[in-house]
Amino acid sequence: METIEVEVGGQTITLETGRLAKQANGAVLVRCGDTVVLVTAVAREEVREGQDFFPLTVDVEERHYAAGKIPGGFFKRESRPSEKAILAARQIDRPLRPLFPKGFMNEVHIVATTLSVDFENAYDVLASIGASAALHISEIPFDGPVGSVRIGRIDGQLVVNPTLEELQDESDLDLVVTGTAEAIVMVEAGAKEVEEAVVVEALELAHGEIRKIVAAQEELRRRCGKPKWPVPEWKVDEAVLAEVRERYGAALDEATQIVEKKARQDAT
């Protein structure tokens, strides 16, 4: 079992692997306060015959027991994913999908399961970190890792990973940033007319914290990372590509410049 701790915004985020979900290609338990998320990454070793796209699935599974509740009444089972879980899954998917190598088409399934929530530390950012870490230490080819943080602004001061109560009652900014050590790859935000300069400052603050999270994942891989699977070389028939460009290139360029959505769809 390996454990890495990283200080982010004055709080300790712990990454642990080797104790749970040992049959997954990669599994990381992420903890901040009493919020705990288990993230697993599993992939097929071979590409399905005839498959010509990259099938990545991300699921976030909220559990009632994580909040100390047991489903009662007529329905005893967990319900369908909530809107929060769906949005969290998309928040994980968007920055990860472009970082898989071109030509890698093996099916990949990432599952983030909430084991405990303390109603102070949001689980979505932890799930994003865990997904990146699970992929990074696994055999699955992945050009990461990435880190993720949330930035709020309380009384004019930027705060890294504010509590849920602070975010709801006091903050006029809710900015989620995900990135690598070199660049920011995703930004999602809601705000109450915050100035552009404040957003730029928040992005710079977030990227500094992201670098620390990325460094922690790199250290985790150095300790227990598995050799990556080879990725087949992506080959394009240059003759076919040239013919497609000659036949449709000009028309496609013209169509993509159409401003009106319906007309643009019809033209393309």
Report the SS3 class of residue 239.
helix
H or E element in which residue 205 lies: helix 196-224
pLDDT band at 232 (very low <50, low <70, confident <90, very high): confident
Angle at 235 between CA 229 and CA 237, to 5 degrees: 165
Given this model, what pLDDT does residue 30 score? 98
pLDDT band at 222 (very low <50, low <70, confident <90, very high): very high
- CATH code matching the domain that covers 2-235, chosen among 3.40.50.300, 3.40.50.11310, 3.30.230.70, 3.90.79.10: 3.30.230.70
28's CB contacts (< 8 A; 6+ apart) are 15, 16, 17, 38, 39, 130, 133, 134, 137, 220
Mean pLDDT score, 149-163: 95
CA end-to-end span of the chain, whole Å? 53
Give this prediction's pTM.
Answer: 0.87
* Domain assignments of the chain as residue spans, ordered by start: 2-235, 236-268
103's torsion region: left (phi>0), alpha (psi -120 to 50) or beta? left
The CA distance from 206 to 208, in Å, is 5
